[in-house]
Amino acid sequence: MLNSILCIYYNRICYIISTKLLQKKIDIHDAEIIQLIISGKNKKEISSQLSIPLSTIQRRARYLLADETIKSKMEINYEKLGFKTGLLHIYLKNGNIDQIAKKIYELHGITSIEIHIGNSDILGHVFYKDATKLLDLISKIKNFEEVDRVVWSERVYQSAPKDIDIKADLLC
């Protein structure tokens, strides 16, 4: 059964309520800040554009980071260091997906994993220097009893993040 979601406005704050619990409150300023962060603006530019003091933008951004409404992460540019990157699409025939994903995550060359519903069961983000290292990694994964097959795709390039208008969705 799908969760019912209800948005109640009170003092310009949208309270998103599911049938289980109050999930998150986002006011118009937080939504505008999130939208401008997505579009690549820094805090000083956001402050100027919204005519809100920089200290307020900094405080709200800290709060949004602290409660994980927005996440910030640093990534290694493997290509710049001479590595190639790509994805392993791992299809399982049986077994505990969490345990298998944990075993795959521990292998050298795996930078992160994702569990999916749909096509492949597990996506493994991979970096490697030469094809023999990649072949060794794929062979190790194929030898797991629970693995049905592994499909490899190499990243040719990745686009810059898309500038999307999320503000309206945030405010229900």
**Residue 31 CB coordination number (10 Å):** 17
Interval 101-145: pLDDT, tens = 999 999 999 999 999 888 899 999 999 999 999 999 999 999 999
Kindly give the residue spans of alpha helices, DSSP state H, lying in 5-108: 28-38, 43-50, 54-66, 97-105
At residue 20 the predicted structure's pLDDT band, cuts being 50, 70 and 90, is very low
Predicted TM-score (pTM) of this structure: 0.63
**Model confidence at 1: pLDDT above 70:** no
Tell me the two tokens of residue 15.
């309270």
Interval 143-171: pLDDT, tens = 999 999 999 998 887 777 666 677 767 66
Which domains does the chain show, CATH number per domain? 5-72 (1.10.10), 79-154 (3.30.70.920)
At residue 47 the predicted structure's pLDDT band, cuts being 50, 70 and 90, is very high
String of b and e for 95-122 (b: at least 16 CB within 10 Å)? Answer: eeeeebbeebeeeebbeebeeeeeebbb
